[in-house]
Structure 1
Amino acid sequence: MSEGIELRHATDIDAVRKTLIEVYAEVHADHLHRPHYSVERYGERLARHATEPGWEAVIGYHDDQPAGYAYANAIAPDDRWWRRMSTPLPEGTTERSTVALKEIMLRVPWRGTGLARRIHDELLAHRPEEQVSLLVNPLNGDGKVKDLYERWGYREISMQQPSADGPVLTAMVRAIREPAPTE
């Protein structure tokens, strides 16, 4: 069912903000009453993320209706992304150029169709970074979401709780490409 989906890149938040927020609100409808998941808080996170270096989104459209999206931005070796980890990171983790996958979500009709992987892969296909990191709630889908990321090649590296009223998340990383050999 992911056939017929057009994948569009965006680097200008103003052009896609409304779409991202609408999909978010639909996907998280059962949790919007909880402060961390509120549309207002998501909008604040989205605005902050969109100002970070290398911000980019890929949105899948079916007949001009958004089916889902992912967005990411580059993170530096001293970024708070790394500093918030609860345990020491594997050696060399922060030395590799990294993009943080901040959000990936699909509307219900497109789940289980392979579209999430298509959006993910398209977002990373032209990134200059060597690796990608993400945070996942290990309880989502009774652990199925984390298992999916493991099948995509991600491995667990630590845990963090980005906000006091949010869940404890599993931090994961995987290579996008191997670093160029040094001479």
Structure 2
Amino acid sequence: MDDVTLTRLGADDVPAMLDEICDAYADAYGEVAGEDSGVKSSAFRDRATSALDARNYEIVVARNGQQIVGFVFGYSLRPEREWWKGLKPEPPSGFTTETGDRTVVLAEIEVRRAWQGRGVGRALHDAFLGGRSEERATLASNPAATATHALYEGWGWIKIGTVPGRPGSYYPEYIRFVLPLPVQNLPR
């Protein structure tokens, strides 16, 4: 990690580096059997662009020299977002109540393949969440990504359940995770 710098930026900084971010995303995934990488990359660009309008959007970028080697971005969860709609199993009363300041969505965390397994992802994760004021974080994951689920759980995330994908979603359902904040409570 000595040769990697982390920088926290806002939505206004992203358009100038969106192509670099999309390139890092594509590299992080590489070719996946049964998936159309062009469709997946296009869907990512759409998500990344629309996220820029979200409340309290932030991105943390990891660079080695001038190259983006990883990034994480997210934003505050708006009450009208219906993030928890259809959550199974049924959560406790009040769990899905959102105020606009209660929960941060960790929308994307990606590390180029050559940099994976070197602590970049964890550093990005901790830097992003360490700068947030919400009481908890949430993320969505592909239900088949069991190795990723194990990684998240090792970082302290709690699997809450599944929600159906919305029309046009990449997956028919998503796993929802939650992590209590502040970040100093995260296991190492």
Fold similarity call, TM over 0.5: yes
Aligned to 2:96: 94
- Relative distance call for 1:90 and 1:112 in structure 2 (3 A) is farther
Q: Distance in 2 between matches of 1:120 and 1:7?
A: 11
TM-score, structure 2 length as denominator?
Answer: 0.82
Q: Spell out the pairing of 1:27-176 with structure 2 (5 A cutoff).
A: 27-31=28-32, 33=36, 37=40, 39-83=41-85, 85-95=87-97, 97-140=102-145, 143-160=146-163, 161-164=165-168, 166-167=170-171, 168-176=173-181
Shift of residue 111, structure 1, vs aligned partner: 0.8
Q: Distance in 1 between matches of 2:2 and 2:56?
A: 28
Q: Distance in 1 between matches of 2:169 and 2:133?
A: 34
Shift of residue 93, structure 1, vs aligned partner: 2.4
1:62 partner amino acid: N
Preserved contact between residue 5 and residue 61 of structure 1 (Cα < 8 Å) = yes
* Residues matched between the structures, number: 174
Q: Distance in 2 between matches of 1:18 and 1:164?
A: 23
1:93 partner amino acid: F
Preserved contact between residue 135 and residue 181 of structure 2 (Cα < 8 Å) = yes
Identity of counterpart residues, as a percentage? Answer: 24
Which ranges in structure 2 are unaligned for 5 or more consecutive residues? 184-188
- Relative distance call for 1:29 and 1:47 in structure 2 (3 A) is same
Corresponding residue SS for 2:31: helix
Shift of residue 163, structure 1, vs aligned partner: 4.6
- Relative distance call for 1:60 and 1:163 in structure 2 (3 A) is farther
Shift of residue 4, structure 1, vs aligned partner: 1.7
- Relative distance call for 1:77 and 1:28 in structure 2 (3 A) is same
TM-score, structure 1 length as denominator?
Answer: 0.84
Which ranges in structure 1 are unaligned for 5 or more consecutive residues? 179-183
- Relative distance call for 1:90 and 1:147 in structure 2 (3 A) is farther
Preserved contact between residue 130 and residue 182 of structure 2 (Cα < 8 Å) = no
Preserved contact between residue 71 and residue 104 of structure 1 (Cα < 8 Å) = yes
Deviations 1:146-167 (A, max 9, x none): 0010111111112122454522
- Relative distance call for 1:112 and 1:34 in structure 2 (3 A) is closer
Corresponding residue SS for 2:107: strand
Preserved contact between residue 36 and residue 165 of structure 1 (Cα < 8 Å) = no
Shift of residue 106, structure 1, vs aligned partner: 0.6
Preserved contact between residue 129 and residue 182 of structure 2 (Cα < 8 Å) = no
Q: Distance in 2 between matches of 1:36 and 1:93?
A: 34
